[in-house]
Amino acid sequence: MKDLILQAYEQLAFKYSELIEYKPHNAYYDRPNTLSLLPDVAGKKILDAACGPGKYAQILLSQGAQVTGFDLSPTMVSLAKERNPEYQNNFYVHDLSAPFEQHSDGTFDLVLCALALHYLPDWTLTIQEFCRVLKPNGTLIVSMEHPFFEYNYFQSTKYFEVEHVKCVWKGFGSPVEINSFRRPLSECITPLTDNGFYIDKLVEPKPTPEFEALDPKHFKELNAFPAFMCIRAVKK
Q: Please count the helices (runs of H) and the strands (runs of E) in the chain.
A: 10, 9
Q: What percent of the chain has pLDDT over 70?
A: 100
Q: What is the mean pLDDT of residues 189-214?
A: 98
Contacts of 49 (CB under 8 A, 6+ apart): 69, 70, 96, 111, 112, 113, 116, 126, 130
The pLDDT of 57-86, averaged and rounded, is 98
Residue 105: name the closest of 147, 133, 64, 70 by CA. Answer: 133
Overall average pLDDT of the 199-211 stretch = 98
What angle do helix axes 55-62 and 74-83 make, rounded to 10 degrees? 30
**Residue 195 · residue 30 · CB < 8 Å:** no
For residues 29-44, give the mean pLDDT. Answer: 98
Mean local confidence (pLDDT), 36-41 = 97
Asked if residues 83 and 123 have their Cβ atoms less than 8 Å apart, the reply is no
- pLDDT for 94 beyond 90: yes
